[in-house]
Structure 1
């Protein structure tokens, strides 16, 4: 595993550690994601798209996934009745949000000592892990991810959310690598998604502000090799483009947050049932 300078993360809002996991370990993560995809249930199919980021949040299937493994399909993979328009192997957008709790392989690597060491270097004292996802970004159909900040969706006071993103295949310009606005984590939070308290609305979640406009000239592409770790500050603005190549871009990602003198916002979309807690990293 290569070293990474702390000032790179502090300056840019993200950092890349190459060779974080070995090729064998990375392949195990990849195969676990592919195996999950093969076993997708037939009884509930919901799309996931950031083109209209609030539309998919009307469904309780999404809101109830904090302690479950739920499947979300690509926009355009299903017809109006939920029938597949493409092969199931390339139809799924992501699976989440409790892989780190309920799946042995993802749990093993999420709580790996190398992950704990990075969290300690970042200054975490009592971190927990609220969510995890396996993201498929399948060839030809893999959807774009609009510019966003992770703290928009996972808010704490003060801000502490940090993404750990691990490509299990090379992430390239062609298949939809991440793009960042360097230093944007220093400019505060642009907006939040919160649970809707309006009883007369069918929207379960709403944005508290309109979408900000970011100039595409500000974004820097960040291709990375499989097995790397990309650390993502909760306030850094990032995106990824559609995958129109013939190669998939499979990745495993999870978020770490501080719990010492930090409050997890009660109006976040992701909430565990009463009496349950997010697992502690160490």
Structure 2
């Protein structure tokens, strides 16, 4: 007998206002300033710096991070790392992935240009499970009380947002800190999160929280407003069918729109599904946000970020939520797979 689905948070816990929900549905993203308190931001930054300083370099396979979705991937073997076991088995661990530009050229064994703490692209992918400060910023926990009354935890607010977005059994996966290191923080090319975390039908939503100010020059997000409304999923990053441990992008002609969007037959560029529109820089609205801001990102909306050319890092904490209720299926070829006997973390719980 299937386990009972936990109840969503009560209406007394605020999630999204009607205006915020309308904006998200129309634009495919929503910025909520001051979502985390200054003390929460400080705690997550301190935790991140501790992780960066303490991970052992000697036993690290020196795995870089790249989506494999760029010109360099064809000629640079290092860019094809994305299929290695260190990456593929990181769904329930805290692991460290280097920037592609972190290493000196033509060094064997590879040598870093800077210290290890200034060379990491991202930390993932189970911070919400294995790191208590990140868990508290993600999952509902026991509600603490203060002298001014009851404080609503950030995890409970996350659950309330999922409730208002219409999730029935939201599951959390792929939590990570994106570092965007000074001068070498790699660009992230236009993509949709449901290309990487595909459910049938698509259901992914990203929570992207700035831990430092994100501005022009240090890799602020760029979002193509409204591109989710008819931007079908036409490709996916999957594990290679050949079983060689790699991943690859494949064309996709299955269900491509989130359930609430089914019926649109064109993408945001006015093309029928099956045609390819190459996004231009002018298609993307740059989101400059302060530390502590939350950006909700629809799984079908195109978004990107530019290379960090500044001398300031741009740390951000991000996790993703998919629908785990009956009627949605998490695809078995997705790069991230739960370990046997494990499932993805439920966002609705017993405590709010």
TM-score by length of 1: 0.94
Distance 1:9-1:182 versus aligned 2 partners, 3 A rule: same
Aligned residue runs from structure 1 range 128-277, under 5 A: 128-186=171-229, 187-198=231-242, 202=244, 204-209=246-251, 213-260=278-325, 261-277=327-343
Asked which structure has the greater CA Rg, the reply is: 2
Distance 1:212-1:266 versus aligned 2 partners, 3 A rule: farther
Alignment check: 8 A CA contact 1:46 1:82 kept: no
Q: Corresponding residue for 1:70? A: 95
Q: Kindly indicate whether residue 113 of structure 2 is the aligned counterpart of residue 47 of structure 1.
A: no
Alignment check: 8 A CA contact 1:57 1:203 kept: no
SS in 2 for 1:208: strand
Larger CA deviation: 88-97 vs 70-79: 70-79
SS in 1 for 2:51: helix
Q: Of the candidates 60, 67, 71, which is equivalent to residue 85 of structure 2?
A: 60
Distance 1:25-1:192 versus aligned 2 partners, 3 A rule: same
Alignment check: 8 A CA contact 1:168 1:250 kept: yes
User: How far off is 1:212 after superposition?
Assistant: 6.0
Q: Corresponding residue for 1:105? A: 133
Q: Corresponding residue for 1:118? A: 161
SS in 2 for 1:266: coil
TM-score by length of 2: 0.76
Q: Corresponding residue for 2:261? A: none
Q: How many residues align?
A: 280
Cα deviation digits, residues 101-122 of structure 1 (max 9, x gap): 1111111111111111111111
Contiguous gaps of at least 5 residues in structure 2: 1-13, 74-78, 140-154, 253-275
Distance 1:209-1:203 versus aligned 2 partners, 3 A rule: farther
CA distance in 2, matches of 1:123, 1:47: 36
CA distance in 2, matches of 1:21, 1:191: 34
Q: Corresponding residue for 1:34? A: 49
Contiguous gaps of at least 5 residues in structure 1: none
Q: Corresponding residue for 2:32? A: 17
CA distance in 1, matches of 2:310, 2:324: 41
CA distance in 2, matches of 1:122, 1:11: 13
Q: Corresponding residue for 2:272? A: none
CA distance in 2, matches of 1:203, 1:276: 21
Q: Corresponding residue for 2:111? A: 83
Alignment check: 8 A CA contact 2:85 2:245 kept: no
Cα deviation digits, residues 167-221 of structure 1 (max 9, x gap): 111110121110011111122113101111125xx56111113996212221110
CA distance in 1, matches of 2:83, 2:219: 27
SS in 1 for 2:296: strand
CA distance in 1, matches of 2:180, 2:280: 24
